[in-house]
Amino acid sequence: MENLLEIKDLRTRFDTEDGIVHAVNGISYTMGHGDLLGVVGESGCGKSVHALTIMRLIQSPPGRIESGEVWFDGRDLLKLSSDEIRQVRGHEIAMVFQDPMTSLNPVFTVGFQIVEALQLHKGMDTNQARDRAAELLTLVGISGAKQRLDDYPHQFSGGMRQRAMIAMALSCEPKLLIADEPTTALDVTIQAQIVDLVRRLQQNLGMAVMWITHDLGVVADLAEFINVMYAGFIIERGPVRLIFKETRHPYTLGLLRSLPRLDEAPGTKLVAIPGLPPDLIALPKGCPFYVRCTFRIEKCQDENPSLEPADSSQHFVACWRWQEIASRSIQ
């Protein structure tokens, strides 16, 4: 089947007083219809910027999409006009942001904001849109939905606001839902509810989901495929099972070793990744993980490896020494 989303050599830059920030650095990957992809990495690695680039939401200036192609359902989104991309946003690709309080307009009711999207993209009248909005709030688990339509965002709890944002994102039945760290500000119990909600909606509606997070535990439970990002690059990509059981990049290995495990003895210390991520204004010539890597060799300092197949046609890694790292993967 033809891919739903295909990213080719995408590069995004930000012009600042200190220099050019290389936020996204030539990433390429595909997503199929109905896929559930996790995009993971620490803060500042380019996860959110790459998603905003897909949506053409990079503010210019200071940001700019330097090069690349974003093929979605047979069209390059980077070549669409402003009017054309507005028809794609919300209707075909929807995005749920990290903080619903900054995404929902505080001076309009929750119902108005969902109704507005339905009228714009689906051509519904007010009564039809309100009925559909109530259905959507019920779908995402908000009780008394018809009455809650007239509530303002501040009258919803954090978990309910995020559910309302998901309802708004689903209102136009998108083919792709991008969730940008939607559970970060929520407590663990609500996080689990939101993850379970998205999984059920994805299965029932058949849409593709891109879940952006720094939490490997979440994607282990939710995603089918993972992109691991570092310094604006994808450094490992593959099915969840392979990434967790047959880790091939030292950064991914470090992320997994820093997670608490239920099968470890009490008192076992977590292993932190030493050092700090590189300055995106002055990226090194070689591998961006070189300074922090315990597997580094001289070649790593001079040449940045490209993303190449590892020991599976679905597993890709950007590391000169992935064969040696294979023997030290977490089992």
Give the model's pLDDT for residue 232.
Answer: 94
Return the structure tokens found at 58: 């990079």
Name the one residue in this structure whose structure tokens are 């040449």: 303
Tens-digit pLDDT string for the chain (331 aa)? 578 999 999 999 999 999 999 999 999 999 999 899 999 998 889 999 999 999 999 988 899 999 999 999 889 999 999 999 988 988 899 888 877 667 788 899 999 988 988 888 788 888 999 999 998 888 888 888 888 999 999 888 878 888 888 888 888 788 999 998 887 766 777 778 778 888 888 888 888 999 998 888 888 888 899 999 999 999 999 999 889 888 899 999 888 887 776 666 676 777 788 888 899 999 988 999 999 998 889 999 999 999 998 877 889 999 998 888 776 554 4
Name the one residue in this structure whose structure tokens are 């001076």: 107
Q: Where are the alpha helices (DSSP H) in the chain?
A: 47-54, 82-88, 100-103, 110-122, 126-139, 145-148, 158-170, 188-205, 216-222, 240-245, 250-257, 298-302, 322-326
Contact at 8 Å (CB) between 258 and 252?
no
